[in-house]
Chain A
């Protein structure tokens, strides 16, 4: 019952935020100098056809009416058309988002596997060797640009050592994509039993996931470390240690306590990563939503660019909501 009330409250807060996101997107659309109608029709368009298109697009209406119409279209999932692909933006995004989400999810998974254990150890023994290594890692990886790290990894992995595949997207040229089931090539290939495709998809994932995982392990490490260090001074951890619990058990207690904060950070990172992944997608020619957004930006395909950023914002808002609910389940008080 309490859960339901909290859920209702959260949704009540989220609704105006969604509206705000749409308002920002609309504002950005209106910020564009020039009239989109003649731009869409090209330089040879007649006066009448421009006027007709303007009326069709509702551009002759006052701004509030235009905003309501925009909102209505968004509620129907209509993000407009991309002139580059001539598809609807929703269709394009639906096709490309799985690639992005696969990369983001796996990278975060790696970031967690690096950040959490290292943070636990470094926080537990702040003077130890692991803590010093963690500090060095935080300082170095915290300053590296992700697109440059991607290039360095390509140089060593592909060019010099020739153990990684070429940065040409999600599959080798000779391999056909498996039927889309979940959107993740690795899982889909596994489901249909196409092991060549699975191996190729997994190999292509290694370098981008390594890039993002190594760099985004830093915020997780910082957070885990700070939380554990603070917990060291709390009575219940002191008690657990005094009781003679093994370091493993104490760490488990600490981790359980750090979990809400950890989930918050991971949730935020998921949202941030959908934006930051853009550059890494470009380097690896990943063909996800990020690369789509870049080509949209470079070619003034504004529906597509706005569609991407709106989808990203809505996604990260949804993730925040989900994280809040999970935390509520963990800590009912």
Chain B
């Protein structure tokens, strides 16, 4: 959504000029909301790896005697209708949820970003390349014509429900966003003196991408990836919520919320509320990390975004 800086030569000094002294870390520490985002992401990432080491009850073995126990001393977040410990399951869930988000976002950025960068280099170039770029962009447009969650849902239906299908579905719906993003970034960078100079010196497409385009577009790309990882968690848990994604008893926030659904209506709020809070915190954290990268890299007033950029913003916002 952001437009790159307009007139730098070399590795985008105009962006660097706006940076605060002390690098990203100090920049973040001065802004409590960003800092909270980083802390949450760090905690969730830690849990994704080390949750099994914590002295918790088993997240998958039910205690038949503990049916819907309210939060208290023995079960801090209570137990669900199957007698599973909500705290343990909530803390074990980042493993699958973050893994899905990470894999899907990385694949989407790798595929969409590469295609988009080439499309950017090729747009307006010779007949064959220009046509290839146009085909890529139009294909992206068509995929984006589908409402995001509806497309993900149908992809899961087609591929057969399960974790792999969820990862592929989220990747597919995200690829056009990176295609569009890297296309715009590359188009803008391509016009800059240092890229033109490299081109005149005989640099090939791959060299240009590796040494000039990707490094200069990395801030925007990283920021989008972080935010999209948050959206990916939302889609993954949404698919699991309706029963088309991760299956119980694997601890996963969306399916936990679904399991507690009936209990919420009758007054036992805890099996659904805690995983929902953890989910919301994670999405918030990833969004703030993304926002901080964008603000750090380009603190100046951003240029007027195009209508297309606003459409992409809506598509990527949820």
Contact = CB atoms under 8 A, between A and B. Distances in A.
B265 A167 contact: yes
A31 B168 CA distance: 13
A45 interface: no
Interface in B265-318: 265-267, 269, 272-273, 276, 279-281, 283-284, 287-288, 301, 304-305, 307, 310-311, 313-315, 317-318
B276 A152 contact: yes
Interface stretch (A113-121, A180-188, A310-318): A310-318
A298 B147 contact: no
Interface string A278-318: 11001100000000011011101010011011001100110
Chain A contact surface mostly: helix
Contacts of B155: 28
A143 B242 contact: no
A308 B150 contact: yes
A23 to B, nearest CB: 8
Given A17-B142, A24-B146, A218 B317 contact: yes
A155 interface: yes
Contacts of A23: 142
B244 interface: yes
B192 interface: no
B147 A296 contact: no
Interface in B247-277: 254, 257, 261, 264-267, 269, 272-273, 276
29 contacts: A17-B138, A20-B145, A21-B146, A24-B146, A140-B284, A144-B280, A145-B234, A148-B257, A148-B272, A152-B276, A155-B267, A219-B318, A223-B310, A268-B315, A271-B147, A272-B149, A272-B315, A275-B148, A275-B150, A278-B153, A279-B149, A279-B238, A282-B242, A297-B157, A297-B244, A308-B154, A312-B146, A312-B147, A313-B146
A316 B154 contact: no
B143 interface: yes
Given A152-B276, A218-B317, A268 B311 contact: yes
A159 B269 CA distance: 10
A274 B266 CA distance: 29
A66 interface: no
Given A31-B158, A147-B238, A309-B153, A20 B142 contact: yes
B283 A272 contact: no
Contacts of A39: none
Contact of B157 (A166, A275, A305): A305
A125 B223 CA distance: 27
B18 interface: no
Contacts of A145: 234, 237-238, 254, 257, 276, 279-280, 283
Contacts of A16: 138
Nearest to A142: B287
Interface residues of B, number: 59
A298 B149 contact: no
B160 interface: yes
Interface of A: 16-17, 20-21, 23-24, 28-29, 31-33, 139-140, 142-148, 151-152, 154-155, 158-160, 166-167, 215-216, 218-219, 222-223, 226, 230, 260-261, 264-265, 268-269, 271-276, 278-279, 282-283, 293-294, 296-298, 300, 302, 305-306, 308-309, 312-313, 316-317
Given A16-B138, A216-B318, A298-B243, 4 more contacts: A20-B145, A275-B153, A298-B161, A298-B244
Nearest to B160: A33
A271 B318 CA distance: 12
A143 B150 CA distance: 20
Interface of B: 33, 138-139, 141-143, 145-151, 153-161, 230, 234, 237-238, 241-244, 254, 257, 261, 264-267, 269, 272-273, 276, 279-281, 283-284, 287-288, 301, 304-305, 307, 310-311, 313-315, 317-318
B307 A260 contact: yes
Contacts of A230: 301, 304
Contacts of B266: 159
A21 B254 CA distance: 30
A218 B288 CA distance: 15
